[in-house]
Structure 1
């Protein structure tokens, strides 16, 4: 549930790419909701402003597919044409995750090095920014209001109500700055946009590569438009059937498992900066000292680091996994002398100017507009919230829960109970065989999520486990990369029971 590479630090989606204009004549409006095909003009591709080797354009689509003649927005699209046109298979739509990552950026910046030559030769690689993200009418919110977020760890009913009140205020602020699209930023709406894009590209069937939250797009496209898929490869899979407790606990267990994988690596690797020490004890003591306000950031000595900040930084490094980076950072922080000056644990936050006549500053903030419309997870009061938190902490005592999902769930407190795209068991009836890859020790998306999705779709999906650690899977080894490439190009499915061996971490 995150972007693939450069957008790691935007896991909770503050400030992705806002409002960059894209060239191209807009295509005709998409047809009404449902499966009927509507004639559609193709996109008028033009060289991308920052990369003339790729094409960029926009596709005008309805905000609400139930009202095709109503408000519209422009979907930003980028394409790298197949390098070997004589062997071209078709289009490969890509989504790198998030929610909030830019598919346009992935197609322009990452695809040339991410995919092997055979994929680049034989597919038009097409990335799009999902509605509300990047260049596709981004969700925007007040910078000043975003800077006033209260703690996502309320200690009583009063603080819980303060969080709920803030979330309601922020939601209304984002709706005001974004317009009608805010209420239609859910994944199911994006799935409809994907099929409109397929029609605009002139393709009867598409190929799709989705990572992390991008797998939810793939899963739900397969539900709605399975007969319009030639091939679909999904890595680091989402399970959209989970309830609140299962979602939080499994996410926390994934983070804790990655911590233990890090400890095991450090115990056996002489290159670890903590080798020969009790790594778990060092870590726990470091977080305890951070709770007392005694740990400063050596890169910014005026900043006191919270335990949450330290755990979140390690969590992001587990995505790699970049275990040497975690060890070096922990060793550096642990070496500090106790600091008794007890400054505030929270860094000072700049307040936006309120002087008369100044324009209100906004920034892109799509995460909760998507997440809270995809997941019916609403703690009703502090008692319910505290029970969920205790279960989360019980599953991850060393990582202090799940740094990513806790904040995601906290951001939905106070939102309306109704959601556009509530959880459900996956039901795919018409799609071809879909290839799923998943790391056995994924820090973010628990391996059980892939198993659950595979069980729900056993006649359609093929699961290839990668037995190592990390969040990204495709380029983990020759085994993982060849499995995806052979499948996408030749529709070759791995043998039942196949797995990929772990590669050496960094």
Structure 2
């Protein structure tokens, strides 16, 4: 734990429409400004996930934020989604279905019915009351309660990844309470989840081409001497026709279709020294020979996780599911054109199609009049497009690019984006449009 970290907690309503009803306790942490005489205010971290722990984020990032901390208290919280993840009933962790790409309307309706049954069982066993109140608007109201507890007139915010959904919700509810907002690798839910996934898959398509070029230039790549990107495409098409049987020590027997490999097998980020791509090439080579064991644990594990009510309840209330078979069919047409190597339904939307509760925070346009200009950051070989689509909604805002792969740069300790974030949050001064940080 960073030296000087203060811990506390606040109680907030499980259902904000019933402020005197059941409460949930949220843990808080604070690192006070190291130069109190020059203190500007508080910076509140908005964690991603959904369900990530903001206090753990602060512990990870604190060594890289010493300059920011000179002028600000750094504040973090464990959101209600994180509390839910630790307290959900055992039945909520039972998958509702063998997650798959619905082949037709009847199969779509079968998946929806199975998930609806699982959601209903989870809600019946939920003693926390949180099941139906994990949406971004509820969490944004929790953040406002944190602001009031801190005694701050306005907050500066640092949001990452799925925290973009919560940041947008806070903008909707409390725009007058925002002093500044730094957004790092955030999704733009306001455009709708099909667009979020189209942007993601376009990035995967570009990464697949980079994987192919890297393998062609790297003798250590198991697919060196071949068109590695084409090998991957042929593998997934073949697995769609004839799934690869696999056995996982943790999850038992299963099958890997091309859809499972595309969603849970390809790795866009090469990792340090391209270690992940070395592994990807080796596993791909083995899989085309009928041995899919390299992919088994991760693919089967995610197939279960993204069909469990405990996981899905953290985002279904934000409208993550397809609205119907027609929307899924349209997405399939769009993805074949935008990212032809990654066709099929988006896995994170399939599980939510049986959501039994009203969608509390549906995707919709964001009112941005009167907001301060914001700063975004994203990896050009990763999450830049996500962030840029959010940032460009707010007039005068700027997104800094990072010339390499990655996701959430300030948690990775990337010095150049952190320096820009520090200048912006401290002085409210943005870098020039088009600024790019070199890879570190």
TM-score interval for Structure 1 and Structure 2 normalised by the shorter chain = 0.7 to 0.9
Q: Secondary structure at the match of 1:480?
A: helix
Contact map agreement 1:254 1:446 (CA 8 A) in 2: no
Aligned residues: CA RMSD:
3.7
Sort the Cα spacing of 1:485 and 1:300 in 2 relative to 1 into closer, same or farther, 3 A. same
Within a 5 Å distance, the mapping from 1:314-333 to structure 2 comes to 314-315=265-266, 318=269, 323-333=274-284
Contact map agreement 1:138 1:364 (CA 8 A) in 2: no
Residue 464 of structure 1 aligns with which residue?
Answer: 400
Which of residues 412, 417, 421 in structure 1 aligns to 2:352?
412
Within a 5 Å distance, the mapping from 1:2-151 to structure 2 comes to 53-108=4-59, 110-113=60-63, 115-133=64-82, 135=83, 138=86, 140-143=88-91, 146-151=94-99
User: Is 2:404 the counterpart of 1:453?
Assistant: no
Contact map agreement 2:270 2:277 (CA 8 A) in 1: no
User: Is 2:378 the counterpart of 1:438?
Assistant: yes
Which of residues 134, 158, 164 in structure 1 aligns to 2:112?
164
Residue 25 of structure 1 aligns with which residue?
Answer: none
307-316 vs 217-226, greater mean Cα deviation:
307-316
Which of residues 213, 229, 247 in structure 1 aligns to 2:162?
213
Residue 145 of structure 2 aligns with which residue?
Answer: 196
Cα distance in structure 1, aligned partners of 2:134 and 2:97 = 22
User: Is 2:328 the counterpart of 1:385?
Assistant: yes
Residue 252 of structure 1 aligns with which residue?
Answer: 201
Offset at residue 159 of structure 1 (A) = 2.5
Offset at residue 348 of structure 1 (A) = 9.0
Contact map agreement 1:132 1:139 (CA 8 A) in 2: no
Structure 1: runs of 5+ lacking an equivalent: 1-49, 350-362
Residue 395 of structure 1 aligns with which residue?
Answer: 338
Aligned length: 428
99-108 vs 328-337, greater mean Cα deviation:
328-337
- State the TM-score, normalized to the length of structure 2: 0.82
Within a 5 Å distance, the mapping from 1:416-427 to structure 2 comes to 416=356, 418-427=358-367
Which of residues 431, 435, 440 in structure 2 aligns to 1:494?
431
Sort the Cα spacing of 1:94 and 1:211 in 2 relative to 1 into closer, same or farther, 3 A. same
Cα distance in structure 2, aligned partners of 1:471 and 1:418 = 31
- State the TM-score, normalized to the length of structure 1: 0.73
Cα distance in structure 2, aligned partners of 1:214 and 1:348 = 26
Cα distance in structure 2, aligned partners of 1:145 and 1:197 = 30
Structure 2: runs of 5+ lacking an equivalent: 302-306
Cα distance in structure 2, aligned partners of 1:366 and 1:122 = 39
Q: Which structure shows the higher helix fraction?
A: 2
Contact map agreement 1:468 1:501 (CA 8 A) in 2: no
Contact map agreement 2:40 2:426 (CA 8 A) in 1: yes
Cα distance in structure 1, aligned partners of 2:193 and 2:212 = 29
Offset at residue 370 of structure 1 (A) = 3.1
Residue 179 of structure 2 aligns with which residue?
Answer: 230
Cα distance in structure 2, aligned partners of 1:389 and 1:229 = 38
User: Is 2:120 the counterpart of 1:177?
Assistant: no
Contact map agreement 2:321 2:351 (CA 8 A) in 1: no
Contact map agreement 1:92 1:208 (CA 8 A) in 2: yes
Contact map agreement 1:438 1:473 (CA 8 A) in 2: yes
Offset at residue 428 of structure 1 (A) = 2.5
Offset at residue 308 of structure 1 (A) = 4.4
